[in-house]
Structure 1
Amino acid sequence: MKTKKDIVKEISEEVNLTQVDTKRVVQMTFDAIIDTIVNEGRIELRNFGVFEVKERKPRKARNPRTGQEVFVGAKRVVTFKPGKVMQHRVRGAKLPGPPPGEPPTL
């Protein structure tokens, strides 16, 4: 699993910027995405995907441990729909580990 630190390191090497400057640009990008989602409810990043705020209605749920019915209030959640380029690349990518249905090798 990659972290933001790993991404910053890769980008800084690729564009010949210091990691400090690259981290600042990456963080500013994330902040701009978050601000747009909060203020406008949606951001579309071509060839990447769409982040959108959706309203979840209040509902009844069940505590899995006790079986007791609980009330879950309305809330806003962020959803992500991947773009076509991402979907195509993910579907064509080989996943780490054994193919589905095969036991892992030890």
Structure 2
Amino acid sequence: MAGKTLTRADLAEAVHRDVGLTRQESADMVQAVFQTLSDTLASGDSVKLSSFGSFQLRDKTGRVGRNPKTGEEVPIDPRRVLVFKPSQVLKDQIDKALSKKS
């Protein structure tokens, strides 16, 4: 899949092919998984997927930034950001795959 973005439709097709559900059932299952992840994160909880990684919400404090063109100071409001931390298993898989390409 080099150079290609994995889409929701690709995931649904993989479920259809590997699990044997109908295309509609596969698409519904993928949608349900993403909805559960979104709902959990929206409620303020973290999501940990074993051997893949974890999604966490972090609160960033307000600060003063600068407009790079003008140098003018601009206040940046406090906000909540979503952070993904890959597991060591995922990191190892990626390193292994990339080292094969070299």
TM-score by length of 1: 0.82
Match of 2:90 in 1: 86
Aligned residue type for 1:15: V
Aligned residue type for 1:44: K
Deviates more, 1:36-45 or 1:83-92: 36-45
TM-score by length of 2: 0.85
Aligned counterpart in structure 2 of residue 74 of structure 1, from 70, 78, 86: 78
Identity rate, percent: 30
Helix, strand or coil for the counterpart of 1:93? Answer: helix
Match of 2:39 in 1: 35
Aligned counterpart in structure 2 of residue 17 of structure 1, from 21, 32, 45: 21
Q: Which runs of 4+ in 1 moved over 3 A?
A: none
Deviation at residue 66 of structure 1 after TM alignment: 2.2
Helix, strand or coil for the counterpart of 1:85? Answer: helix
Match of 2:54 in 1: 50
**How large is the Cα RMSD of the aligned pairs?**
1.7
Q: Write the deviation string for residues 39-70 of structure 1: whole angstroms up to 9, x where unpaired.
A: 24211111111111100000111112222111
Match of 1:104 in 2: none
Q: Across the two proteins, how many residue pairs are aligned to each other?
A: 97
Aligned residue type for 1:43: V
Aligned counterpart in structure 1 of residue 64 of structure 2, from 56, 60, 67: 60
Paired with 2:88 and 2:68, the residues of 1 have a C-alpha distance of 37
Deviation at residue 10 of structure 1 after TM alignment: 1.7
Compared CA separation, residues 23 and 94, structure 1 to 2 (3 A): same
